[in-house]
Amino acid sequence: MKRNLTVLLSLLVLTSVVLSACGTAATATEAPAATEPPAATEAPAATEAPGATEAPAACTPAGTEPIAFPDGGKSVTGAFDQEPDSIVPYFSQMSFAVWVTQLTLVGLAEWDDQSNFVPELAAEIPTTENGGVSEDGLTITWKLKDCLFWSDGEPITSEDIKFTWEAVMDPGSAPSTRTGYDKIGSIETPDPLTAVITFAELYPPWQTLFTQGPNNQGAILPKHMLEGKTALEADPFIHQPTVGSGPFVITEWIPGDFMTLLPNPNFYAGRAKLDRVQIRFVADSAASLAALQTGDVDWYPNFSEGDITTMQALEPDVVLTVVAGSDFEHYFFNLGRTEGVDGRGVADNEGFCPFKDINVRKAITIGINRQAIVDELLAGLTAVPVSQWPNTAWTNTNLEVEGYDPEAAAALLDEAGYTVGADGIRVGDCNGEQTRLAFNFETTDAPIRIDAATAAQADLAAIGIEFTPIHTPAGTFFGQYVDGGPLTTGNYDMGGYTTGFYPDPYTDSFQCESVPNAEKPDGTNWYHLCDPFLSDLLDSSLDTVDIAARKAILDEAQKYIAENYYVIPMYARGDVFGSTPRFQFGPMGPQSNINWNAESWDVTE
């Protein structure tokens, strides 16, 4: 699947290095009594910038070491079937690694359970109204909260923000991506609480930089731990940070066995409720489910939608939580044109002729009972999306899902000139040729996709359409142009897969100039659609950093795509979690994950 910004847009193939080893946890000492952090005082007026580690005089850290686990302390254990490679997020693309990052290293802001962009280390979100975003959109000014400290008691200052950028851009290091950071021209630090970021060119997704979540990697790095180092990908701190800014700090990591995290005494939101978090490395999701049933672990974050029915049967001993995500499964038409449109978007292969008719595309859309697929395959726990931006702040909430209506679908096909033949399949004239409404549908061989395609096949047969699923291993289905991948070459009729356009909403998936062909084999417009109006409309969202203006553009684009039936949003993908009844983890959303507020995790005995 493709994902915005990091070409998941590349879709992410998550790998892990699991090392076998033996070891036992060190005996924990009793935790010191928690103290209330001192009241924050106003930062002094800036004259000359003080040294990088200077903090306002009234601020003192609550401690310099992780808080030891006390006798009878509260603890939870999670299960991971992939062992993280590197916890510092700029050097990993692994979801399991990023989930640990959320527990240990934070950024200037994050997305909460309602997909709102909210401050973490920052005092407020920069806007044009508060002076944080310049009129030309090139300068973003972040203000830190007062009295911030790393877990070792060193102050967190604006110098750490600047250092993070310098570390990512260091040519001697090999981060997994520099996207966005390479658009920054300079960072100035006029005082310990202020970072003034000036971009060399307009960069509307600035919110994805220096901010940490499950879908973007932007935690602030400690200058005092890494300054002067290069080739950071090989540095032990990158693999296992010993100093952090999140609610917990990694204190022990036995490869192939477990990881222990203890509370950070200086976390900006206060001491975590739990006294310890442990993560066990297990073989697979089946082992995780077995451990949940015995109570050996308290949560597992990576069940599949195919596990929903099994887990429902285990309730209440195992608690099932499904969060409708911002990723979505969608079906789409090959709308390629070998002549292009006004010289733009030339495709190697012409799409199936009847798909050029909006009535045919609409009939197929409303001829599939998408809600039944959600109810039967996903236990009704997600939803049919209104657009390709579901469950985000960018969703056009004025749109409504068009429901299943086979009678109306049949009428549309009649109107388009396709009548039912002797074999039950409709036939009609398309560009002067008699054409049967019979075509292939290509997707992967994932079980849920097989079941969904079978249901769609039966629905469409009822209105005279022969829809033939072809299930291909993912490696072949998502194959590159040079390898003859069906999506990139346009050698398919209809297709289906999962993608998502978030946390930033821009996608070039509809851009005329991104249609793959022999001259542009890396093009990412796998719909092979060139609609100049839509292409230019979405590109215009990159001409401003004003969030309201971008939202208006995205709303218009979603409405236009829906009115033209260019794609069929099938269902929002579900993030499926399993937990024990004792583990109380609070609210979560598709852009926050379970880990966004780990300081509030608790247990009930």
Decide if 177 is inside a domain: yes
Decide if 64 is inside a domain: no
DSSP string for residues in 407-435? HHHHHHHHHTT-EE-TTS-EEEEETTEEE
- Which structural domain, as residue segments, surrounds residue 151? 71-298+580-603
pLDDT-derived band at 34 (thresholds 50, 70, 90) equals very low
One domain for residues 173 and 268:
yes
One domain for residues 337 and 371:
yes
pLDDT-derived band at 41 (thresholds 50, 70, 90) equals very low
Q: What pLDDT is recorded for position 227?
A: 98
Displacement of CA 283 from its chain's centroid (Å) = 24
pLDDT-derived band at 30 (thresholds 50, 70, 90) equals very low
One domain for residues 486 and 590:
no
Is 242's pLDDT higher than 50?
yes
One domain for residues 365 and 419:
yes
Sign of CA dihedral 393, 396, 397, 401: negative
Q: What pLDDT is recorded for position 344?
A: 98
Greater model confidence, 15 or 78: 78
Least confident of 45-54, 230-239, 515-524: 45-54
Q: What pLDDT is recorded for position 247?
A: 98
Element (H, E) at 110: strand 109-111
The torsion angle over the Cα atoms of residues 441, 410, 560 and 2, rounded to 10 degrees, is -20
pLDDT-derived band at 46 (thresholds 50, 70, 90) equals very low
Mean pLDDT across 173-200: 97
Tens of pLDDT, residue by residue over 264-284, are: 999 999 999 999 999 999 999
Is 245's pLDDT higher than 90?
yes
One domain for residues 557 and 598:
no
Q: Backbone phi, then psi, for 538, in 5-degree steps? A: -65, -40
270 neighbors 35 (Cβ within 8 angstroms) = no
- For the domain that residue 95 is a member of, what is the CATH number? 3.40.190.10
Q: What pLDDT is recorded for position 213?
A: 85
Q: How far apart are CA 309 and CA 325, in angstroms?
A: 19
One domain for residues 389 and 528:
yes
Tens of pLDDT, residue by residue over 6-21, are: 333 333 333 332 323 3
Strand locations in 313-451 (E): 319-333, 419-420, 426-430, 433-436, 438-444
Mean pLDDT across 136-141: 97
Mean pLDDT across 107-118: 94
Is 31's pLDDT higher than 80?
no
Is 33's pLDDT higher than 80?
no
One domain for residues 566 and 592:
no
Q: What pLDDT is recorded for position 217?
A: 84
One domain for residues 269 and 160:
yes
Q: What pLDDT is recorded for position 216?
A: 84
One domain for residues 563 and 596:
no
Q: What pLDDT is recorded for position 605?
A: 78
Decide if 315 is inside a domain: no
Element (H, E) at 564: helix 547-564
Q: How far apart are CA 9 and CA 267, in angstroms?
A: 33
Q: Which of 126, 113, 123 is nearest to 209 (CA)?
A: 126
Per-chain mean pLDDT for the chain: 91
Decide if 317 is inside a domain: no
**What single-letter amino acid sits at 556?**
E
Mean pLDDT across 452-465: 98
Q: What pLDDT is recorded for position 57?
A: 52
Domain count, the chain: 2
Strand, helix or coil at 82?
coil
Q: What pLDDT is recorded for position 44?
A: 32
Q: What is the token pair recorded at 475?
A: 């490696």
- For the domain that residue 384 is a member of, what is the CATH number? 3.10.105.10
Q: What is the token pair recorded at 329?
A: 């499964």
Strand, helix or coil at 330?
strand
**What single-letter amino acid sits at 574?**
G
Residue 3, CA distances (Å) to 97, 137, 361, 500 in order: 18, 25, 25, 5
Question: What letter would DSSP give residue 541?
Answer: G
Is 296's pLDDT higher than 80?
yes
Percent above pLDDT 70 for the chain: 91
Tracing tokens 């249609």 back to the chain, one arrives at 515
One domain for residues 540 and 432:
yes
Mean pLDDT across 385-395: 96
pTM of the model: 0.85
Greater model confidence, 11 or 217: 217
Q: How far apart are CA 152 and CA 490, in angstroms?
A: 55
Decide if 304 is inside a domain: no
Decide if 37 is inside a domain: no
Strand, helix or coil at 204?
helix
CA triple 563-462-379, angle to 5 deg: 75
One domain for residues 400 and 255:
no
pLDDT-derived band at 58 (thresholds 50, 70, 90) equals confident
Q: Which of 496, 577, 574 is nearest to 327 (CA)?
A: 574
Q: How far apart are CA 597 and CA 576, in angstroms?
A: 18
Decide if 53 is inside a domain: no
Length of the chain (residues): 605
Which residues, 6+ apart, have CB-to-CB distance to 323 below 8 Å? 574, 575, 577, 588, 589, 590
One domain for residues 492 and 558:
yes
Decide if 2 is inside a domain: no
